[in-house]
Amino acid sequence: MDEIFFDKRALELKYQMPLGKISEFFKGLENGKIMASKCVDCNEIYFPPQANCPNCIKSKIEWVELSSDAILETYTIINVKPTSFLKYPDYVVVIGKLKEGVKVLSWLEIDDFKKIRIGMKMKLKVVKREENYYTYEFYPAE
């Protein structure tokens, strides 16, 4: 096998996003709540939140706090990481289906990857990453 040269440098990436109509989502995270947008006309719930309903092409939305109860639908273990996550040990990204019907993509906090099962019960919680931003993660509920 050919030798490979690795060059490892820290990359700091700063960006600004206009939050506009979904600022409630970020306010919710700071208060420990995971909020989804719901169309007032057709009752469809969107997560990640959307300011406009693709069904109705309307912008009348309200905010609902999601339950934390989910079922693991699928997962993958990440051992080849993006540069910004190199300092983390291997981690698991899952898709969890909440009882509201929305699917959430996030990390699963678990001590042993052998415990992961399709269909296992999970809970969703707000976490603050050491990079100083709020996000959400699943953890096993059983």
Residues that bind Zn ion (CB under 5 A): 39, 41-42, 53, 55-56
Give the residue with the Cβ less far from Zn ion, 35 or 39: 39
Sheet holding 61-65, edge to edge: 45-46, 35-39, 61-65
**21 φ/ψ angles, rounded to the nearest 5 degrees:** -75, -10
Q: How far is the CB of 41 from Zn ion (least distance, A)?
A: 5
Which two tokens mark 62?
A: 């309200």
Give the residue with the Cβ less far from Zn ion, 19 or 40: 40
Q: How far is the CB of 105 from Zn ion (least distance, A)?
A: 22
Give the residue with the Cβ less far from Zn ion, 19 or 56: 56
Give the Cα separation of 29 and 125 in Å (integer): 9
Give the number of other Cβ atoms within 10 Å of residue 141's Cβ: 14
Q: How far is the CB of 55 from Zn ion (least distance, A)?
A: 4
Q: How far is the CB of 38 from Zn ion (least distance, A)?
A: 9
Q: What b/e string do you get for 10-22 counting C-beta neighbours within 10 Å, with b at 16 or more? A: eeeeeeeeeeeeb
Give the residue with the Cβ less far from Zn ion, 51 or 77: 51
β-strands 134-140, 103-108 pairing: parallel
